[in-house]
Amino acid sequence: MILNDYIVMEKRNLVLILLLIMLGASVKAQNINDDTLTVKRHGFWEDWSIGIGLNHNYLIGDLMSLTHKEDDLDLGFGLQVNKQLSPYLELGFEYLGNKVSGSDPYEYFIEDYRFNFETDFSMYSLVGKFYINRLQEHLERQPKTNVYVRGGISFIDFEYSLVGRVDSKLIPVHERQQDTYDTWAYSLGLGLERKLTERLYLDFGITASITNNDYLDGNPTAFVKENNGDDILFSTKIGLSYGFGKKRERGFKWHNSFRSGANTVETREFESEISSLGSRLSNLENDLKSLKQPVREWVDKDNDGVHDADDLEPNTKEGAMVNFQGITIKSDGQIVNHINGMATFHPVFFRLNSTVMEDKYIEQLISVVTYLRNHQNEKLKLVGYADTSGGESHNLELSRKRVLEVNRILVKDFGVDSSRLSVDWKGENDQISTDRSLNRRVDFFLQ
């Protein structure tokens, strides 16, 4: 009676635990669904980054940069602040300030149009980036390199200085023409980001800013034709950026937000916990049922120690050794199936996620070894299995290690000739039972 009360109390406790876990499961399942099917919603202060960059500026216009050996290599520094809106899209603000200089191309043959120019500018840009490689988010790839295309709109405030390189009637040597302007431009470009740490990354890019103003190079053709608006500023950048904000483990920049919850450690532990508690509850229910069954009168007509109601071989010979079902065990330790006369062997079971055989299954291996010694022409096939906890590749590897471990014990510890043994292993698509614990096993088959 006391045992019965204890089992009932234990059962109630387990039911309560299961209910609490199932309540948590709905929250976890929602998170898994969010991660798998849609992008988890991010807060405003997540996925921000700031960066600095070293830029080389190159102008294409009526006059051009680096057309003579005297032209300067124009370098400048830039700042940027970015907010990533999704794995694919980022919006940012950039500032670039420095100078760009150059002179007339070599092919300029008209004496009056030989000039040097130098332009100081400040460019403020609103930029959008589209990450091409993140279109493969559904493949659950964690990015280490991001490739992007970018576009934006810029406001440029600049002051140019135009000086004649030779005496001319337009601008004599040493006479300087200066003026201050501002203009709008639209930009196109592409780039690459490379992860250094969870928060630091390198940024390489090239951008073309196309203006509607012809004065970035001082407009030396203003004397002979109208503004054609074809000045283009190329900026090549190498930069270093730092990501900040909350919940970086779920950030868009270097983490796949669509990763399947079925492969996470958290989910595998959760499934194992449910499986273990479910197994304990099932065992308690069976114990309780057995206690509630009416006591049966003990009847054993063949005196083999097994109740006649449970005896599958009711006419056992006197003195014969039987198993718990009353089936005769031969002197070689094997259970004989009297339906087809084939020798069968008890499987070896393993704990969850384990490849170590417990000592209590040595008796089964002794029975296998005894049979092989008494039947020298027989060969045996060992087949390993695993349950569905964890990923498919993990389970297949688990069943392989289990069957190889049993094979090793038979060969190394019991001296079985390895040529008489063969091994095979099955994945989670070859389940033996709906009870997960019954699938963590190694079976033995005569060949």
pLDDT digits (tens, 9 = 90+) for 212-252: 888 888 777 665 555 566 789 999 999 999 988 765 555 67
For residue 409, the SS3 value is helix
Q: Does residue 83 fall inside a structural domain?
A: yes
Residues 211 and 337 in one domain: no
For residue 368, the SS3 value is helix
With 70 as the cut, is the pLDDT of residue 68 above it? yes
With 70 as the cut, is the pLDDT of residue 162 above it? yes
Residues 186 and 138 in one domain: yes
Residue 19: the pLDDT is 63
Higher pLDDT, 16 or 262: 16
What's the average model confidence in pLDDT over 302-311?
72
Q: Does residue 90 fall inside a structural domain?
A: yes
Q: Does residue 163 fall inside a structural domain?
A: yes
- List the helix and strand counts (H, then E) for the chain: 4, 14
Tokens of 234: 């190329």
Whole-angstrom distance, CA of residue 258 vs CA of residue 114? 59
pLDDT in tens, 383-409: 999 988 878 888 999 999 999 999 999
Whole-angstrom distance, CA of residue 309 vs CA of residue 315? 13
285 dihedral zone (left: phi>0; alpha: psi -120 to 50; beta) = alpha
Q: Does residue 310 fall inside a structural domain?
A: no
127: domain range? 48-257
Whole-angstrom distance, CA of residue 404 vs CA of residue 408? 6
- Beta-strand relationship, 48-60 and 75-84: antiparallel
- Give 96: exposed, middle or buried? Use CB within 10 Å, 0-12, 13-18, 19+: buried
With 90 as the cut, is the pLDDT of residue 82 above it? yes
Distances (CA, A) of 339 to 231, 318, 343: 94, 21, 11
- Select from 257, 290, 320 the last residue of a domain: 257
Residue with tokens 């040595």: 362
pLDDT in tens, 167-179: 655 555 555 667 7
With 50 as the cut, is the pLDDT of residue 280 above it? yes
Residues 349 and 226 in one domain: no
Whole-angstrom distance, CA of residue 321 vs CA of residue 333? 9
Q: Does residue 181 fall inside a structural domain?
A: yes
User: Are 402 and 384 contacting, i.e. CB atoms less than 8 angstroms apart?
Assistant: yes
Residue 30: the pLDDT is 46
**What kind and span of H or E run contains 1?**
none
User: Are 280 and 12 contacting, i.e. CB atoms less than 8 angstroms apart?
Assistant: no
Residue 149: the pLDDT is 96
Residue 421: the pLDDT is 93
- At 337, the pLDDT band (50, 70, 90 cuts) reads very low
Residue 138: the pLDDT is 65
Residues 404 and 341 in one domain: yes
Residue 248: the pLDDT is 55
What's the average model confidence in pLDDT over 332-357?
68
**Domains of the chain: total:** 3
Residues 184 and 226 in one domain: yes
Q: Does residue 18 fall inside a structural domain?
A: yes
Tokens of 272: 């194992």
Residues 239 and 385 in one domain: no
**Of residues 220, 207, 105, 211, the one with CA closest to residue 160:** 220
Amino acid at 366: I
Residue 423: the pLDDT is 94
- Helix extents (H) in 110-234: none
At residue 411, φ and ψ (nearest 5 deg) are -80, -50
Residue 98: the pLDDT is 85
Residues 335 and 206 in one domain: no
Torsion of CA 398, 399, 404, 405, to 10 degrees: 70
Residues 63 and 159 in one domain: yes
What's the average model confidence in pLDDT over 316-335?
58
With 70 as the cut, is the pLDDT of residue 58 above it? yes
What's the average model confidence in pLDDT over 3-8?
52
